[in-house]
Structure 1
Amino acid sequence: MAASFISDFRLMWYLDELKKNEFLQFKQLLKQETVQRGLQPIPWAQVKKAKRQDLASLMTQRYGEQPAWDLALCIFPKIHRKDLCDKASRESAENAYRAHIQEKFIRMWSRDSFTEIPGCFDQTLTREEHESLEEYFTPRVPRRPHTVVLRALQRVGKTRFLMKLMLAWSDGTLYRDKFSFIFYLCCRELKQLRVTSLAGLISRERPDDSVPLADIVAQPERILFIVDSLEELECTLTEPESELCRDWREERSGKMVLSSLLRRKILPESALLLAAMPMRPEALESKLDHPNMQELKCFQDSHVKQYFCCSFGDRGRAMAAFSWVQNNEHLFTMCHIPLLCWMVCTSLKQEMERGRDLAATCCRSTSVFLSFMFQAFTPKGATRPSQQGQGLLKALCSLAAEGMWTDTWVFGEEELRRNGIGDTDTPTLLDLRLFRKYSESGSSYSFIHACMQEFCAAMFYLLDSPQDHPSRAVMPLEVLLLTYFRKERASWVFLGCFLFGLLHESEQQRLDALLGMQRSRELAPQLLGCLRILAEIEDPEEQVEFLLFFYALFEVQSDAFASHLMSSLREAHFPLRERPDLAVAAYCLKYCCSLRELTVSVPEIFPEERGPDPIRHSRGAAGDGWIRIIQSHLCFCRTRKVSFSCETGIFFEVFTSNPNLQHLSMTSTQLSHDEVWFLCSVLSNPVCNLQELLMDGCQLNKYSCPHLSEVLLSNANLRHLDLSRNPLMDEGVAQLCEALRQPACRLQTLWMDGCQICEHFCPHLSEVLLSNANLRHLDLSRNPLMDEGVAQLCEALRQPACRLQTLW
């Protein structure tokens, strides 16, 4: 019963557990035990006066670490402290498990480490990462189980981050005193299991059974379950409770076992760390028990720059390439994902070494992938892939297409052979860094990155016909496009964009030259025809993800086609989630000459530019990008209605750019005082023709009302104003009523539902009813007007001067 490495500190800690009389007994028995074992005894005078720390040092120095520990374990039962032996046994098993985890994850890291640059980034957690992880499980609610949801954009390297966590725990630098066991559950592997149990999932990770599983789960508060890529299993957590497991030994489907764990039906005291895509946490948050929502940051700008310098070696060439990428929003965004940063560096470096113009060969994401692919398959000194290389490329793309349609990311030998990849081909694909070993046995493989599989799947449709594919799961091009643009498969992120990107004229020329083929040119009219059909369907919002549609057009970069396609679009609804979305929207919206309704939501994607002065910040880089998007659209089309949800005031400048803009909805958009002031100053401009302004639930207050009053007096076009669900209070309403009484106010409809108006200010409203000849509809729902206030309003309603037609 021994541990692999026990220092005298460990022995000292165990001796500290002994009471005074037990420690005296230990000393007596130590003298007897050394004699019985034929060991040279420590002089009794030293033993007798030694304190616990001193005795631990004496034993270790005289006998060595392991024999000293064996002596102690032999003595503990004799002084009726077998509990210390049991504790040592558990710790020994924990140490063995940690050693197993360390060995396993070092192998996993090494298997994927071809993108690593010595001295640049490694498997050690940074100080910031370590501090963040330590805070994840700081109690937020007393005696509540810990659940942390780590939001991670798709393919930003969350698995690598979790591997670093496991390695840090295994070497004792993270969560050493918090968790005795951490079990890593990969949902991509879980969904392959038809039937399992939590016991089975735990047993898969344990190197031995020196400690019974029952003893491990007996302390669930000392267990952390890490669930990677939760979206892979599509857990909705909505199963009836009667179907969930209550016993950790009960066998069900992998999804049901995981759902039971997440909903605290099994081992409810354990800790959970769930890594999921951003759209998943919104659905999860309400179903989990007090989750701690965190966000995984990818490469920072400084990391990208450092990576370029280390990758190129030559600083001058590195900075030239970095400057090129930094000015290309799409490529720069790609570089914030470590593996894709490596791929971009590899492509640019080789193109620069060959003296090629980066603007012609690597200006878009599709072109970078195409460069990487053909550099991999073109032998040194040759200008195009060999016949054998072309055959292997076709086989690789065939495998990728099957994987996309069957939702497969890890391929065994059977899938490889079915698509024409033989045993002798896999070492080649590994050497070309297009494949990586997925399992330690080497019998299963995956593409180096999910984006690479998507690109190869897009290539398949240009290289071969889906009717000839060995798998019946692979569907025709029309089905692929409809599936992609409807966002019916969450794992299809760039497939459609790559497909259309390959239709770009420069990529067509490279495909013709490198493969000597014309299929891509034959396919182009069919692809563009499918896109045209999608643009012309009724209720496009229900059928198409507009942003995906826009990205496809952006990749094609055909002004003539974009103009022809977008000219009939009458409404568009999309979110702007990342910086590249800005340029894409700007490119497409300028062709929407018939657009009548635009709905845009903008989350906090420019936090560093946000500040108290919206005018000053509108001149920043991000602000200029946002303004260019909307203005590029507003200057060329006749949109009448715009709805948006964002946290920036710089949007408002565009209202003076287009006299056609008549409707603006900002429902539930949180606006600061400065942003309200900026909006009102723009709306007061004589050039603004806005007729309907909806500001329901925008956190307006009494301090917003003076600015709104100015708009009512200076904007002769404003007819409909919604101020519902804003705490305007009586003071704010009094200021608005002052403006509403003026002849210059042309407002016809006013919604003030739930604005915290009481009966004391009904006289002000009554005066408005008598003096404003334009107001026809007034909503005062959910305000505590009381009988007295209503009576005052009714008195005004009876007067002939009152022109109101509808009162809520």
Structure 2
Amino acid sequence: MTSEVLLNILDDLDDDQLSLFQWFLQKPNNVQGLPAITKSRLQTVDRCKTVDVMVETYGLQRAMQVTRVVLEKIHRNDLLQKFPASSSGPEVHVSDVGETSENREPSSSQTQPPLPQTEDETVPVPEPRPIRFYQQKLQSNFQDTFKVTTEGWAADEERLVDIYTELYITAGRDMHVNTQHEVLQIDKVWKPSDKERQIQPRDIFKHPSGKDIPIRTVLTNGIAGIGKTFLVRKFVLDWAEERSNQDVHLIFPFTFRALSSLQGKEFCLAELIHFCIPETKDVTVEALNYIFTALQSSGNSSYKKSRFKLLFVFDGLDESRLHLDFDVNNIPTVDVTKSTKIEILLRELISGKLLRSARLWITTRPAAANQIPQNLVNTTTEVRGFTDPQKEEYFRKRFRDKKQASSIISHMKKSRSLHIMCHIPVFCWITATVLEELLRTREGGDLPRTLTEMYTEFLRFQIDHTKAKYGPKKCIQSIKSLAKLAFEQLQKGNLIFYEKDLRETSIDVREASVYSGVFTEIFKEERGRKQENKMFSFIHLSVQEFLAALHVHLTFINSGISLLEEERQTTSCWSEMFQSYSTGFYQTAVDEALQSPNGHLDLFLRFLLGLSLSTNQNLLRSLLTQTRSSSQTNQKTVEYIKEKM
């Protein structure tokens, strides 16, 4: 048997019959257990290409079986005599054809054909299925999940491709713990070195040298809000819609945010996948256990030689509350099919003791990068956010009104602070939200130019949009409660909090809708499953830092109380700076922030200084009642701060 037999048969079909033949190939279960072929791969009248696609998908013997079935469906039984007598093969089960979700047309025809299928890729349990059957099921389900998304607090979902702006990503950048605050690194980051190489998301697992060197684990670094999660979503969607990385059979995208809520609980790996990723429901536990056991027992560590090609994605290592101890030695071998604490499962998976041939992609903020030992990472990449042209592209996508888009772009360029911050996609969204409102409601007058002004206007926007529904008093009290929560959690280094954290700050979890906007509730059921322990976060780290500074500022000027005085033992002279609004007050604040081991107080300090200025205090008094004025910083203080920063 050769492919020429199939080609000779297709040559006897006219174009209309070939089109009908291809239409049936797009339907599932022509032969039991065999997947459909997506429409985008059959948009051709070239008989040779059609044969190639069939053989690549099914293998030659099964392609012959499918051809027999489809010829009967299109009433060309006369062509069955062209099959050699020895090619009849085993008995097959023919199913009626119907339109189903797994045959949706991909949104792009720029596809990469999958690698040739072999008999060895069959998953025999719970019934024999080729691995590509499960691949197509998973791709179809991921299309539903990742095709649409929301930006910021927007209630309406939009198509990801409509709002996604390409990011600037580099390969091979040094992964070290930077002791400077993330936001203050931006200006330095955007001075590329000669050794820097830009990469496309689809090439994330290609070695930076360009050589064919195996890569198992990629660690992608990027500051908060720079676009790491959007990048992951776009990567998975491109795979699901067959635009890239079609050599990957199955992708399992986890978030550390969700995994942290399962701290201490036990799952086998297949159960954990089903619990955290509902889209995998069509890949049965039996099938997953077979795949994992086959890979684990093979001893193979090569992805390219692997019988089943898997990719595990772990987004947001910086949000993890799991204790992953990679220094533990002499532990018993973990059975991937048995229930195990998720901390152990993840540690064994990341360390390569489980599923050595599977690929791993981990994303993180810089400060958390050292949680993964360097010897377990094959290569690093860095998401650098938007280039200057990409910033403009973002605003032109966001605003269909060209004049409005040009006004916002022009204003952004006039302010060095705003222009630097707009390298961060989430800050572009904050800027767009604030300036869109101000351009619509404010006639004349200056638009915000500094970070503190922008965030104060952002606060005004939030208050204006909630006080009509909940009343000014309740709205303002909610903001003050959030500010207290922001400060207390910043002190602990927490970006993700739970219901108990909210209750400790007297926030009623049942009224979480009041806090929408600056505050985001992250329900587990967003991924299709109800979760008892709800998780919360601010929409961006910088929003948390602004509110934390607001809480410290309001508490001091209204009561004279230094909130950091209790931390005297750990923060040394921080308490002294709150004794008065004087030159020494700010000099002490700056000096202490510069000594912070991880720079986590730098932006907090900037906001604290900004809130002391009379222009911002006037705005605060108009927003928040019972706020007393304080003296401005004097020129000597300003010069000192500028010199230090």
TM category (shorter chain) comes to 0.5 to 0.7
SS at match of 2:248: coil
The one of 305, 327, 348 equivalent to 1:239 is 327
Residue correspondence of structure 1 range 781-796 to structure 2 within 5 A: none
Identity %: 18
Question: What pairs with 1:404-803 in structure 2 (closer than 5 Å)?
Answer: 404-422=490-508, 425-430=511-516, 432=517, 434-439=519-524, 440=526, 441=530, 444-464=535-555, 476=566, 481=574, 486-488=595-597, 494-518=603-627, 521=630, 558-563=634-639, 587-589=642-644
Match for residue 697 of structure 1? none
Q: Kindly indicate whether the alpha-carbon contact (under 8 Å) linking 2:326 and 2:373 is maintained by their aligned counterparts in 1.
A: no
| 2:362 corresponding residue in structure 1 | 274
Residue 101 of structure 1 is matched in structure 2 by: 142
TM-score normalized by structure 1? 0.52
Equivalent position of 2:232 in the other structure: 162
C-alpha contact 2:326 2:351 (8 A) present in aligned 1? no
Report the alpha carbon displacement of residue 143 of structure 1 after superposing the two structures with TM: 7.1
1:376 aligns with 2:465: no
Structure 1 residues 476 and 103 mapped into 2: Cα distance closer, same or farther (>3 Å)?
farther
Determine the structure 1 residue equivalent to 2:61: 18
* 1:77-156 paired onto structure 2 within 5 Å: 88-106=129-147, 109=150, 121-123=162-164, 132-138=200-206, 144-156=214-226
CA offset digits 1:659-699 (Å, max 9, x no partner):
xxxxxxxxxxxxxxxxxxxxxxxxxxxxxxxxxxxxxxxxx
- Please give the alpha-carbon distance, in whole angstroms, between the structure 1 residues aligned to 2:433 and 2:162: 17
Question: Separation in 1 of the partners of 2:433 and 2:410?
Answer: 16
Q: Whole-Å Cα distance in 2 between the matches of residues 518 and 25 of structure 1?
A: 77
Q: TM-score, normalised by structure 2?
A: 0.63
The amino acid of 1:202's aligned partner reads I
Q: What is the aligned counterpart of 2:478 among 385, 388, 392?
A: 392
2:437 to 341, 350, 371: 350
Cα 1:467–1:486, aligned 2, differ >3 Å: closer, same or farther?
farther
Deviation at 1:339, TM superposition (A): 2.1
| Partner SS for 1:399 | helix
Could you say if the C-alpha distance between residues 334 and 60 of structure 1 is closer, same or farther in structure 2, counting changes exceeding 3 Å? farther
Letter of the 2:520 counterpart = F
| Distance in 1 (alpha carbons) for counterparts of 2:138 and 2:496 | 27
Counterpart in the other structure of 2:353: 265
Equivalent residue, structure 1, for 2:452: 366
Distance 2:401 2:57 in 1: 56
CA contact (8 A) 1:93 1:211 kept: no
| CA pair 261-51 structure 1, distance change in 2 beyond 3 A | same
Q: Aligned pair in 2 of structure 1 residues 512, 263: CA closer, same or farther (>3 Å)?
A: same
Separation in 1, partners of 2:213, 2:465: 63
Write the distance in 1 (CA, Å) between the matches of 2:622 and 2:265: 51
Letter in 2 for 1:137: F
Q: Tell whether 2:116 aligns with 1:45.
A: no
| Distance change in 2, residues 1:241/1:357 (3 Å) | farther
Greater RCO structure (CA 8 Å; 6+ sep): 2
Structure 1 562/26 Cα, relative in aligned 2: closer, same or farther at 3 Å?
closer
Equivalent pair of 1:182/1:225 in contact (CA under 8 Å): yes
Do the aligned partners of 1:511 and 1:517 also contact (CA within 8 Å) in 2? Answer: no
Q: What pairs with 1:200-219 in structure 2 (closer than 5 Å)?
A: 200-204=271-275, 205=277, 206-208=280-282, 209=284, 211-217=286-292, 218-219=294-295
Shift of residue 369, structure 1, vs aligned partner = 0.6
Cα distance in 2, alignment partners of residues 82 and 309 from structure 1 = 46
Q: Partner residue of 1:321?
A: 408
Query: Which stretches in structure 1 are left out of the alignment for 5+ residues?
Result: 70-79, 525-555, 567-586, 591-808
Q: Deviations over 1:581-633 (max 9, x none)?
A: xxxxxx3159xxxxxxxxxxxxxxxxxxxxxxxxxxxxxxxxxxxxxxxxxxx
Residue 141 (structure 1) shift: 6.9
Q: Work out which of the two has the higher radius of gyration on C-alpha atoms and give 1 or 2.
A: 1
- Retained in 1: the 8 A contact 2:121–2:131? no
Distance 1:447 1:265 in 2: 36
Q: Kindly tell me the number of residue pairs found equivalent between the two proteins.
A: 503
CA distance in 2, matches of 1:419, 1:353: 36
Q: Which consecutive residues of structure 2, in runs of 5 or more, have no partner in the other structure?
A: 1-31, 43-49, 103-118, 171-197, 297-302, 304-308, 576-591
User: By how many angstroms is 1:272 displaced?
Assistant: 1.6
Give CA deviations for 1:304-330 in whole Å, capped at 9, x if unaligned. 223334445544443333223213222
CA distance in 2, matches of 1:369, 1:63: 60
Mapped to 1, the partners of 2:286 and 2:338 lie a distance apart of 20
Cα 1:62/1:456, change in 2 over 3 Å: closer
**Cα deviation 1:438-497 (Å, max 9, x = unaligned):** 4325954432222222222222223448999xxxx9985766758965435676663332
- Conserved 8 A contact 1:436-1:446: yes
Once structures 1 and 2 are overlaid, which stretch shifts more, 254-263 or 178-187?
254-263
Q: For residues 203 and 132 of structure 1, what CA distance do their matches in structure 2 show?
A: 30
Code of the residue aligned with 2:614 in structure 1: it is E
The 8 Å contact of residues 461 and 477 in structure 1, kept in 2 or not, is answered as: no
Taking the aligned partners of 2:144 and 2:558, their CA distance within structure 1 comes to 46
Does the 8 Å contact 2:167/2:386 carry over to 1? no
Q: CA RMSD for the aligned pairs? A: 5.1
Deviation at 1:299, TM superposition (A): 1.5
- Decide whether the 8 Å contact of 2:122 with 2:128 is kept in 1: yes
Q: Tell me the distance in 2 between the aligned counterparts of 1:248 and 1:491.
A: 38
> The residue matched to 2:352 in structure 1 has which SS?
coil
CA distance in 2, matches of 1:2, 1:120: 33
* Structure 1 SS opposite 2:357: coil
Amino acid at match of 1:453: Q
Quick one: distance in 1 between partners of 2:137 and 2:518? 34
Q: Which amino acid aligns with 1:386?
A: P
Q: Is the 8 A contact 1:237 1:287 kept in 2?
A: no
**How far is the alpha carbon of 1:160 from its aligned partner?**
1.2
* Separation in structure 1 between the aligned mates of residue 395 and residue 154 of structure 2, nearest angstrom: 17
Task: Please report how far the alpha carbon of residue 203 of structure 1 lies from its aligned counterpart in structure 2 after TM superposition.
Answer: 3.7
AA partner of residue 635 (structure 2): D
Of residues 256, 266, 276, the one that matches 1:187 is 256
Amino acid at match of 1:184: P
For the 8 Å contact 1:109–1:163, the answer to whether it is kept is: no
Change (3 A) 1:513 1:477: farther
Measure, in 2, the Cα distance between the counterparts of 1:293 and 1:588: 34
Greater displacement, 3-12 / 320-329: 3-12
Q: Structure 2 vs 1, CA of residues 168 and 365 (structure 1 numbering), >3 Å: closer, same or farther?
A: same
Change (3 A) 1:5 1:262: same
CA distance in structure 1 between the aligned counterparts of 2:425 and 2:231, rounded to whole angstroms: 11
Structure 1 position 509, deviation (Å): 1.9
- Structure 1 Cα separation of the partners of residues 120 and 332 of structure 2: 41
Give the Å deviation of 1:252: 6.2
Deviations 1:340-377 (A, max 9, x none): 11211222233344447765x62211111111111221
SS of the equivalent of 1:162 reads helix
Note if contact 1:145-1:268 (Cα within 8 Å) is conserved in structure 2: no
CA distance in 1, matches of 2:400, 2:99: 48
